[in-house]
Amino acid sequence: MKYKLVIFDWDGTVMDSIARIVSSLQSAARIHLVPVPSDDKAKSIIGLSLPVVMDKLFPDHKALHQTLMQEYKKQFVNEDSTDTPLFDGVEALFKKLQSNGCQLAIATGKSRQGLDRLLSLTGLTDYFVFTQSADEAQSKPSPQMLSQILAHTELAVAEAVMIGDSTLDLEMAQNIGMDSIGVTFGVGERDELATYEPVAIVDCFSQLDQYLL
């Protein structure tokens, strides 16, 4: 195998959760009477940690940031019914990688509580040797999440690859000198992802086999 460690983003890479994130952000804004971000504007911040999201989407309403964050979480977890399935082929690839001795990790803009809840719900927890949430590191595209994963696994940058759907994921990898693979089924357009010189850009999970196995 080319890589000993494969690091995945979560939203838009492992889970098809983009529509629910956008809807939940818009509902939070609507409920608390602040300007409702467009679909494109809401999509553009996916991958950032939630405090950074607040700064970007609602810069003129800092006093409401904590309230908006809590409302967003409430909407995403309890109120919004938009489906959030895993992308086709996710668990099949995880099983293949694990059976070939590859270690798996996550680097996500989600909170620790949110990530752990979804790992439990999807039954994917045991596939990962380490997971890194936005609560525990600087927001993407800082490479701190990746450096902490490498420190935990005691592997070198050259032994790992970052897989993600957003330019934030690929820029984070570029910032630490790590290979990356972009996926087009999340928020990133192919030409945007290509700017960060990933080793590949794929359109479905099954295409990852040729680059990882």
- Helix, strand or coil for residue 119? helix
Tell me what pLDDT residue 47 has.
86
Q: How far is CA 44 from CA 41, 76, 92, 113, 162, in A?
A: 5, 18, 29, 23, 19
Report DSSP letters for 91-116, one per residue.
HHHHHHHHHTT-EEEEE-SS-HHHHH
Contact 8, 164 (CB under 8 A): yes
What is the reported pLDDT for 124? 97
Residues 74 and 34 in one domain: yes
Q: What is the pLDDT of residue 16?
A: 96
Q: How far apart are CA 10 and CA 188, in angstroms?
A: 14
Cα–Cα dist 139/119, whole Å: 20
Same structural domain, 98 and 172: yes
What is the domain range of residue 32? 18-79
Residues 178 and 132 placed together within one structural domain of the fold: yes
Question: At 209, is the secondary structure helix, strand, or coil?
Answer: helix
Which of 77, 64, 119, 58 has the alpha carbon at shortest distance from 94?
A: 119
Q: Do 135 and 207 fall into the same domain?
A: yes
Are residue 60 and residue 26 in the same domain, yes or no? yes
Q: Could you tell me the mean pLDDT of each successive run of 10 residues in the chain, 213 residues long? A: 94 96 95 95 90 94 96 93 96 96 96 94 97 93 97 98 97 98 96 97 95 93
- Is residue 155 located within the same domain as residue 69? no
Residue that terminates a domain, selected from 31, 62, 79: 79
10 and 115 assigned to the same domain = yes
Q: Furthest-apart CA pair in the chain: how many Å?
A: 52
Domain limit, last residue, from 79, 104, 122: 79
Q: Verify that 50 and 98 share a domain, yes or no.
A: no
The pTM (predicted TM-score) of the whole model is 0.93
Report which of 161, 191, 112 is spatially closest to residue 13, judged by C-alpha positions: 161
> Based on the domain organization, do 98 and 176 belong to the same domain?
yes
Same domain assignment for residues 25 and 57:
yes
Are residues 102 and 10 both part of a single domain? Answer: yes
Tokens of 70: 């809590």
**Residue-by-residue DSSP string for 138-194:** PPTTSTHHHHHHHHHHT--GGGEEEEESSHHHHHHHHHHT-EEEEESSSS--HHHHH
CATH of the domain at 104: 3.40.50.1000
| Same structural domain, 134 and 56 | no
Q: Residue 127: what pLDDT?
A: 98
Number of domains, the chain: 2
Domain boundary among 79, 97, 123: 79
